[in-house]
Amino acid sequence: MSVRTRLQRLLVCLTIIGFGVPRVIEAHRLDEYLQATRISLELDRIAVEMNLTPGAAVADQVFAAIDQDRNGAISPVEGAAYARLVVSSLSLNVDGRVRALTLDRYTFPSLTDMRNGEGIIRLQASAKMPHASAGPHRLAFANIHRSDIGVYLINALIPSDERIRITGQSRDTLQNEFKMDYKVNER
């Protein structure tokens, strides 16, 4: 058998195997509540942005927790209450001091989008800080919202101020607890 024939057979076999193996799904699992958090450092403020995406299998459960009057729509009052609930389940600590997060903004998708696994709840919160002194600092963040169905991702954004440099990051195995070391340089 020629080398060319062997290569053709190998390609045919690999193609057959490739179609037989399930593709990796690019979205999150249907039975989870994905909570992706991005943390941004500024000299006098820490911003937290969250995208909460309920999988199709848990969308009704999440929606029911928001839609308190059960009318199939999220009213401004219901949206605000749920957004505050999420923010209250977050903790932020900088240099050993608790920093209160304040809800800044939020948006909610429709129930249809949530049931399709495509609806993203978007929240923004922030904590005011005394102007950061030069030197090393440590931030600790935790998210315990809906730990029964939640899966978590926490990442830090590159600081826009060149004086702030992230020097280390660590997460627990569930990624709902995050620690970050950073340094503020003199002007």
Per-residue model confidence as pLDDT tens digits over 57-108 = 999 999 999 999 999 889 999 999 999 999 999 999 999 999 999 999 999 9
Please report the pLDDT score of residue 17 as a whole number. 54
Query: Given CA atoms 13, 18, 19, 20 in this order, what sign does their dihedral have?
Result: positive
Kindly state whether residue 114 falls inside one of the protein's structural domains: yes
Task: Flag whether 81 is in a domain.
Answer: yes
Number of structural domains the chain divides into: 1
CB 131 within 8 Å of CB 163: no
Whether 179 maps to a domain, the answer reads yes
- 79: in domain: yes
CA distances from 180 to 14, 92, 94, 151 (A): 44, 11, 9, 20
Give a yes or no: residue 18 inside a domain.
no
Domain membership of residue 6 (yes or no) is no
Does any domain span residue 66? Answer: yes
Whether 155 is in a domain gets the answer yes
Contact 177, 171 (CB under 8 A): yes
Of the pLDDT bands very low, low, confident and very high (cuts 50, 70, 90), residue 24 is very low
Q: How many Å apart are CA 11 and CA 13, to the nearest integer?
A: 5
Which residue range(s) make up the domain with 121? 29-184
CB 41 within 8 A of CB 128: no
Least confident of 20-24, 134-138, 178-182: 20-24
Strand ranges inside 44-186, DSSP E: 45-54, 90-94, 97-98, 102-107, 121-128, 135-143, 150-156, 164-171, 177-184
Model confidence pLDDT, tens digit, residues 123-159? 999 999 987 889 999 999 999 999 999 999 999 999 9
